[in-house]
Amino acid sequence: MAVTSPPLPSPSVTTGRSRRHRLRWFQHSIVHVLLICGTILMLIPLAWMISTSLKPVGDVYLFPPKWIPDPIQFQNYVEAVNTIPFLRYFTNTAFVTIMVIVGKTLSVTLVAFAFARLQWWGRDVLFVVMLSALMLPPHITLIPQFVLFKQLGWIDTFLPLIVPDFFGGPFLTFLTRQFFLTIPRDLDDAARIDGCSSFGVYWRIILPLSKPVIIAVIILVFNNTWNEFLHALIYLQSQANFTLSLGLRMFQGEASTSWHLLMAASLLSMLPVLLLFFIAQRYFIQGIVFTGVKA
């Protein structure tokens, strides 16, 4: 019986494939090399921070700089958390941040829902007015707000740092509204036919479909609140109420800075931000690139 062997690819096809394969490999290699270079470049400040945080005080200014500390001083971390009441400041910051995340996420999504999904008189005008609030520098309202909170007896409490965030914010409302606009309206109509109220549509339909933007809002709010300085500076007075951003500045003196301690404390304080970003980065990027949502 004659055995028919599979037709062999012609030499010209083989050469074409392997050339394409090599070309693709070459392109990937270039992309990877560029990405690795970019990553190294972005990580240099972090590496410098880690290096400084482990140096003896006298080695901070050495030239040429020593990347690997000798001796490695883990003691700096102990000293940093003991120089300021680190745990107390950490707890205060975490409390304020969690409350702000809850308040802001609820208010922003609710307002964005009204702007994106409901028809009401003056909606578009009010949306422009809200956006124009973005142009208002926060320093303009600093003293009137301070006087207001003073009248309310809220100075040296966390309330001025938290309560305003229960009333939304223009940028995040805008971001969320844009995301909501991409969700098909048919879903609202179907829900309403089934007897859903406006709040029901928001709560049962829109929110469950908006995880990426909600996570993006949470990360942005977390990052801003964790690092917020100006309002904490103005409203908090007692040392026991300080947040981490205030506490870290305590290492920067009138004429000198304890860089080794500042870097150690800064690294510890940025850990939660890094952790949250690593866990939720997929959703975060989806939420920011709101035009490409999978609705």
Partner 1 sequence: MRAQHQVTRRQFLRAAGLTALGASLAACAAPPAAPAASEGGVASPTEAPVTTGGETVTLNFVCDTINEGHQKVRDEWAKAFTEKNPNIIVNHQPVPGSDYNTKIQTLFAAGTPPDVYRYLQEVTPIVTVAEKNLHLELDPFIAKDKYDTSDFRPSALALYKWNGKTYALPRDYGHQNLFLNLDLLSKEGLTPPTADWTDTGFKFETFLDLAQKLTKKEGDRTVQWGFLVNRGWRPWASWVYNNGATVVNKNDQGIATEISLTDPNAVEAMQFLQDLMYKHGVAPRPDIESEMGGFELFASGRVGMMINNPSSVNQYRTITAFKWDVATLPLGKAETRGTGGGGTGWASAAGTKYPDQAWEFLKHISSTEAELDEVGVGATTPSRISVVESKEFLDTSKGPANIAAFAQAQEYVVRDPVHVRWPEVFQRVVVSNMDTLWSGKNTAQEVADAIKAEGDKLFVA
Which residues in this chain contact partner 1 in the complex, by CB under 8 A? 57-63, 83-85, 95, 99, 102, 142-143, 146-147, 150, 154-159, 162-163, 229-230, 233-234, 237-241, 246, 249-258, 261
Minimum separation from the CB atom of position 204 to partner 1 (A): 11
Residue whose CB is less far from partner 1, 99 or 218: 99
Minimum separation from the CB atom of position 56 to partner 1 (A): 8
Residue whose CB is less far from partner 1, 62 or 72: 62
Minimum separation from the CB atom of position 258 to partner 1 (A): 7
For the chain, the distance separating the N- and C-terminal CA atoms, rounded to the nearest angstrom, is 59
Q: What angle do the packed helices 86-117 and 211-227 form, to 10 degrees?
A: 140
Residue whose CB is less far from partner 1, 116 or 267: 267
On the 0-12 / 13-18 / 19+ scale of CB atoms within 10 A, 194 is: exposed
Q: 252 pairs with which residues across the strands?
A: 257
- Structural tokens at position 239: 């040392």
- Structural tokens at position 203: 């709560």
**Alpha-carbon distance 177 to 171, whole Å?**
10
- Structural tokens at position 209: 């479909």
Minimum separation from the CB atom of position 264 to partner 1 (A): 13
Q: Are 203 and 53 in contact (CB under 8 A)?
A: no
Residue whose CB is less far from partner 1, 43 or 233: 233
Minimum separation from the CB atom of position 161 to partner 1 (A): 8
Residue whose CB is less far from partner 1, 29 or 237: 237
Residue 236 neighbours by CB distance under 10 Å: 21
Residue whose CB is less far from partner 1, 99 or 293: 99
Minimum separation from the CB atom of position 120 to partner 1 (A): 26
Residue 94 neighbours by CB distance under 10 Å: 15
